[in-house]
Amino acid sequence: MKTRNFKIISHLFILGTFAMGLIACGGGGGAPATLAPAVPPVTISGTVTYTDYDIGAAGIIYTSEKTKAIRGAVVELRNSVGTVLLASANTSETGGYTFSAPANQSVSIVVKAALGTPAAPDTKVLDNTNSDALYALTKAVTTTTSNVTENFNAGSGYDGSSYTGLRASAPFAILDVIHQGRLFVLAADPTVVFPPLTVQWSAKNKTVANGDIKLGDGPGTSYNAPNLWLNGAPDLDTDEYDSTVIAHEWGHYVQEKLSASHSPGGDHTLNDILHPSLAFDEGFATAMGSMIMNDTTQINTLGAKQATGSVLTANIEADSVTDTDKSTAPPPPDTAFLLDGIYAEVSIIEIMWDLFDSGVNGAADDDNVALGFVPIFKVMTNGHKNTDALTSIYSFIHFLKLEVPASKDAIDVITGAENIDTVGADEYEKTPDSLYDLVTIDTPKALRTFNFFGPATEANLGGNKLFNFRYLKSTIPAQGCYTFTATPTGAAAATTDLVFAIGGVGTLNNNPVGVPEVLSVSLDPGPGVIQVGAFSDNALFSFTYALASSPTLCN
């Protein structure tokens, strides 16, 4: 398929002003000069598109090439060299644009990989290997005295066997998934204002720990505020066409910017016994990606010729774990764990999807709940966002049942099927099955951490699994400055290194092995949570906190 020429603009334009006029001057004396009639402007319009492909278990299916509209992108009319801005707008849902332009002039149409208002776009796709340049597509146009139609396409650069040309479509394929996500969120709440987001993509990007991002050696596909990182290295890992993967990472942006997250982050798998906040965040992001794209399968394309499709999640409508499946990770003492639970992201994926859906792609729904996204988003941006507990499936379900009380019993059936008991639960869960140990102000309490799942190292701050921490709950009686102390105790005290956090933030690990961790923090009255962990198995510690002698806020 032959397309018009295009190029990626990898520099920022210098904005300015433009004015024109035509004046004919007469000689001295004689009759007054006659001004030449002004040439009226003409209309330049057209449609801008990008090349896209289906993906599957065989990776990117290059025989499925299709043309899609570049929707919602910032589009500009500039002078021929791009230094003067004449007009700007956003492309339509069909990729259309229209400008009034001067006749008999050389101008350019510039389509930027950016969403939001043309003067101040909030979402941009940048090249981290080229000084964070904004990707853009440009087309030179020479006007006459007639209207002009200019349609142009951003091609993939794939020649049938490898990437040999400019991969112009990639930034716009990424942008379109985010545009679809924005439409999805705005349908639930039209008042949402999207905070700034930069997407870092390059054809050089690959996952390299502690690498140089200017060379494309970075964190890999992930969301690390304020950046959403995507891989693009050919024959290794390309993510620009992995729509549900992109939507998953954008779901993390929604959580971080519009809701709340206490996740410690880090490596994880679907069947890990995870920190409950991490399990919830990953499960929600995957389910939201499926909601946005109306696709219950998440696939990552990679490998030589992008011919491998790693299925990250299969059909999330179906239960992926039977009640007899057990974790293969070393269990804590005297405890056996099902793969389903508050700690399993696969459980959260299935719960969130079942709460939302009414079947997809012709498949029948397997439950009696189809709430849609409106109550889910309302809970995420209100009750769950402001919970005094750690963000988890418990806090989400507690506030969801308050939002849709008529569905309370049906919701409990869905969570119960995933080995999560939410009947009568609050955001902390109910006693005696609470996730939290109760502690009282000024009252010491000795606690023991469970065995770690996996190696405990300084690098991962004690890990991100469920039993890397003990979770404490107390009530702060009055506003003031409180001092928290976690002290290693027992026979291994001299070799125990503690770590703890107030709520979901402020992880503290400043002192050497065997030394208490102490933190002073200003708190308001009400419920509060603390996490205490250690860098060694079966660590013992005591925990106290007290109001400072002067009940004022910390300096």
Task: Output the six-digit token pair for 32.
Answer: 């007054």
Nearest to 236 by CA among 152, 306, 333, 185: 306
Q: What is the pLDDT of residues 118-171, one digit of tens each?
A: 999 999 999 999 999 999 999 999 999 999 999 999 999 999 999 999 999 999
Of the listed ranges 9-23, 372-386, 440-454, the one predicted with least confidence: 9-23
Query: Mean per-residue pLDDT for 499-516?
Result: 79
Q: Does residue 414 contact residue 404 with C-beta atoms inside 8 Å?
A: no
What integer best gives the mean pLDDT of the chain? 85
* Mean pLDDT lowest among 209-218, 385-394, 465-474: 465-474
CA nearest 543: which of 555, 522, 553, 529? 529
Query: How far lies 463's CA from each of 109, 181, 246, 364, 450, in Å?
Result: 51, 32, 26, 39, 12
- Res 272: pLDDT: 79
Indicate the angle between helix axes 393-403 and 276-293, nearest 10 degrees. 60
Give the whole-angstrom CA distance, residue 449 versus residue 332.
Answer: 9
Cβ-Cβ contacts under 8 Å for 42 (sequence gap 6 or more) = 100, 101, 102, 103, 143, 144, 145, 146, 147, 148
pLDDT for res 6: 33
Confidence category of residue 22, pLDDT binned at 50, 70, 90:
very low
pLDDT at residue 112 greater than cutoff 90: yes
Q: Please give the order of strands across the beta sheet that includes 526-534.
A: 437-438, 469-476, 526-534, 498-502, 505-508
266 burial type by CB count under 10 A (0-12 exposed, 13-18 middle, 19+ buried): middle
Q: Report phi then psi at 152, rounded to 5.
A: -150, 160
The token pair at 325 is 């499946």
Q: Give the integer Cα–Cα distance in Å for 135 and 140.
A: 17
Helix (H, G, I), strand (E, B) or coil at 251: helix
The tokens 């009759």 sit on which residue? Answer: 31
pLDDT of 192: 98
- Residue 56 has a pLDDT of 95
Strand partners, 163: 158
Smallest Cα–Cα separation from 343: which of 434, 284, 274, 419?
274
Please classify residue 61 by burial: count the beta carbons closer than 10 Å to its beta carbon, then call 0-12 exposed, 13-18 middle and 19+ buried: middle
Please check the confidence at residue 10 and state whether its pLDDT lies above 50.
Answer: no
Residue 511: its pLDDT value, please? Answer: 84
Say if residue 81's pLDDT is above 90. yes
255-312 pLDDT, tens digit per residue, is: 999 999 999 888 887 777 888 999 999 999 999 999 999 999 999 999 999 999 998 8
pLDDT at 64: 97
pLDDT band at 318 (very low <50, low <70, confident <90, very high): confident
CA distance 426 to 395: 7
CA distance 470 to 463: 12
CB-based contact 49:95 (threshold 8 Å): yes
The 8-class DSSP code of residue 338 comes to: B
When computed from its CA atoms, the radius of gyration of the chain, rounded to whole angstroms, is 28
Exposed, middle or buried: residue 16 (CB in 10 Å: 0-12, 13-18, 19+)?
exposed
Residue 11: pLDDT over 80:
no
CA distance 462 to 394: 23
414-451 residue pLDDT tens: 999 999 999 988 999 876 667 888 888 777 777 765 54
- Predicted local distance difference test score (pLDDT) of residue 92: 98
pLDDT tens-digit series, residues 532-551: 887 776 678 888 888 876 66
| Chain position carrying tokens 């963000």 | 391
**Of 475, 472, 480, whose CA–CA distance to 542 is shortest?**
472
**How would you list the strands of the sheet with 540-547, edge to edge?**
445-448, 540-547, 480-489, 517-523
In the predicted structure, residue 2 carries a pLDDT above the cut 50: no
- For residue 423, the model assigns a pLDDT of 92
The band of 7, judged by pLDDT with boundaries at 50, 70 and 90, is very low
pLDDT more than 70, % of the chain: 84
Please check the confidence at residue 363 and state whether its pLDDT lies above 60: no
Residue 362 CB partners (closer than 8 Å, separation 6+)? none
- Could you check whether the bond before residue 226 is cis, i.e. omega within 30 degrees of 0? yes
With beta carbons less than 8 A apart as the criterion, state whether 64 and 51 touch. no
Report the length, in residues, of the chain: 555
pLDDT, tens digit, 9 for 90 and up, residues 33-65:
556 568 899 999 999 999 999 999 999 999 999
- 78 sits in the region (left: phi over 0; alpha: psi -120 to 50; else beta) called beta
Distance CA 358, CA 371 (A): 8
